[in-house]
Every structure is written in C-alpha cells, then in structure tokens.
C-alpha cells in the first residue's frame, strides 16, 4: 500500500508543478497613467548675501555671492583678501593720496571708477556713481577737484550699499536723494578732521537722518566723542572681523556698526553689542 501511494505521488507531481508554474500566473495589471497635476517645483532658496571687509582708513572690500569683488578706496593693497583679478572692480572717491594709490590703480586688472558719474554692471553687481561736495572741496579750485567726491551706490547680493567717501555737505540735494533711495548699508564719514564734518555742525549725522539706512558704518578717523554720540543716537554694534550679511539680518531701524581693530575698544566704551 505504501509503495502504491508513492507511485501515485510521482505520477501526479508534474501536474501539480504545472499548476504552480509562473506561466499560469495572471500577468500584473498595467499601471494606469496618473491624470493629476504634477507638483510645482520648490522655490530655490534666496542667494547668500555679500561679505564686507573693513581694512583700515576708508578701505573696504565687498564680495558678491557670485564672487565679484568691489574694492573701495584701496590705500594698502596688502590688506586685501587676495590680489585683484580681471573680475574685480576698483572704486575711488577721489584722487587724493588718502583714497588713491596711482601705481595700484593704474595697474589694476579689472574695471575702475574714480570721481565721475556713470554706471557699471558686472554679473550680480550694479554700481552707480554720483558726485557730491567733498572734504576740502569748498576751498579747492573746481578745475582741480570737480565737486570733490564720488558717492558709490552698490547693489550686491540683494542689498544696497552706499559708500559716501569724503562727503562734506550739510544735506543731500533732491537729485542725490532720488538716487539714494532704499540704502541698506551706509559707509560714511560722520566726523572728519578736515573741518567740513564736525561735532559742532553734525553734518555727517544729519545726512544719515535724511536717508535712514539700516546700518551706518563709519569709514575712518571718527573720534571717541563721535562714536559715543552716534551710539547714543542710534545704538548699535561692534565687529572686529568681516561682516556676512543678508536682508534677513538687517535691523528694523537705523543702527551703528563699528568695524575694525578699534571695535572691541569702542564696544566697551560706548555700550555697543556684539554683532
């Protein structure tokens, strides 16, 4: 009997195996194409803002998110973050020796602007130059120092930066104000030592009240008295190092930002905060 059962299983096994064969498995259903609307692509994040370096005197360096460098009033080229290239821009507010080094400017491999009106665009940077009265301009012959000074309005990394050079006038003209709308960062002389911008006349402070930038960075030579007055007027910050800034990091009102090697000293003396 046992042998008979084994024989039956052997005879039936091909049939059983055929029934389990993949060939007899129903094919998978064909996917039905979706009729729903594809998801909208996600928005790209906002570009990183510019970096700003203060390198002493009135020398500043701006670097855009795409790597364009704007060098302003270079007096000591050794303090630059790296040697200039053809992709860089040099701006000088005038040709006197505290803002302009002839050998450096004449050999500069990129584009330059000095004491003239006009516009310059390179990749993600747009620059507009307008003229103003400058320190010493009231006594200088007009044929030697035309209007004295250049203001540079620089749109870079989603921000508007204005460098006022050695401006020396009690208020902006209507034409200047039209060009200076929506300035985020102002680099300027608040108190100078040539007599045109003093603590007595407060011209430097009054000019900033006209345009109300988010950050005011004194460019050089400001006295402790000037910093204390500015800190009391606007309150503010100190930073000994580069400024990495985006629109989201701007203060809501006008604030002072003291940069450079004296920043830590002014911080303690003038009740400034760390940036």
Dump pLDDT digits (tens) for 142-200: 444 444 799 999 999 999 999 999 898 999 999 999 999 999 999 999 998 666 889 99
Q: How many domains does the chain have?
A: 1
**pLDDT score, position 49:** 93
Q: What is the pTM of this model?
A: 0.79
Query: Is residue 257 in a domain?
Result: yes
Dihedral angle sign, alpha carbons of residues 202, 153, 182, 258: negative
Which of 209, 153, 145, 204 is CA-nearest to residue 176? 153
Place of tokens 């003093």: 198
Which domain CATH number covers 181?
Answer: 3.60.15.10
Query: Is residue 162 in a domain?
Result: yes
Query: Is the model's pLDDT at 26 over the cut of 80?
Result: no
Q: What is the dihedral of CA 190, 196, 201, 206, to 10 degrees?
A: -40
Query: Is residue 25 in a domain?
Result: no
Residues of the domain holding 254: 115-274
Query: Is residue 81 in a domain?
Result: no
pLDDT band at 19 (very low <50, low <70, confident <90, very high): very low
Dump pLDDT digits (tens) for 96-144: 766 788 999 999 999 999 888 999 999 999 999 999 988 654 444 444 4
Query: Is residue 185 in a domain?
Result: yes
Which of 189, 233, 232, 184 is CA-nearest to residue 211? 184
**pLDDT score, position 46:** 45
CA dist., res. 216 & res. 57, Å (int):
16
Query: Is residue 197 in a domain?
Result: yes
Dump pLDDT digits (tens) for 205-234: 999 999 999 999 998 767 889 999 999 999
């Amino acid at each position: 009997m046992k042998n008979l059962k084994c024989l039956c299983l052997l005879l039936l096994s091909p049939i059983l195996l055929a029934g389990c064969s993949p060939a007899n498995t129903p094919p998978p259903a064909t996917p039905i194409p979706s009729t729903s609307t594809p998801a909208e692509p996600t928005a790209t994040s906002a570009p990183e803002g510019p970096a700003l370096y203060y390198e002493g005197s009135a020398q500043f360096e701006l670097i855009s998110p795409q790597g364009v460098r704007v060098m302003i009033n270079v007096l000591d080229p050794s303090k630059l973050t790296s040697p200039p290239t053809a992709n860089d821009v040099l701006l000088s507010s005038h040709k006197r020796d505290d803002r302009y080094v002839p050998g450096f400017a004449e050999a500069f491999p990129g584009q330059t602007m000095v004491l003239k009106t006009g516009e310059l665009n390179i990749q993600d940077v747009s620059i507009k130059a307008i003229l103003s009265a400058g320190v010493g301009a009231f006594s200088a012959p007009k044929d030697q120092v035309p209007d004295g000074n250049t203001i540079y309005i620089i749109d870079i990394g989603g921000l508007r930066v204005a460098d006022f050079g050695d401006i020396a006038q009690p208020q902006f003209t209507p034409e200047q104000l039209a060009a200076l709308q929506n300035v985020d960062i102002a680099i300027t002389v608040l108190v100078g030592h040539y007599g045109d911008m003093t603590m007595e006349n407060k011209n430097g402070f009054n000019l900033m009240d006209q345009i109300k930038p988010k950050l005011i960075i004194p460019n050089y030579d400001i006295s402790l008295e000037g910093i204390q007055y500015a800190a009391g007027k606007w309150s503010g910050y100190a930073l000994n190092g580069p400024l990495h800034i985006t629109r989201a990091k701007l203060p809501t009102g006008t604030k002072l930002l003291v940069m450079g090697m004296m920043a830590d000293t002014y911080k303690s003396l003038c009740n400034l905060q760390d940036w």
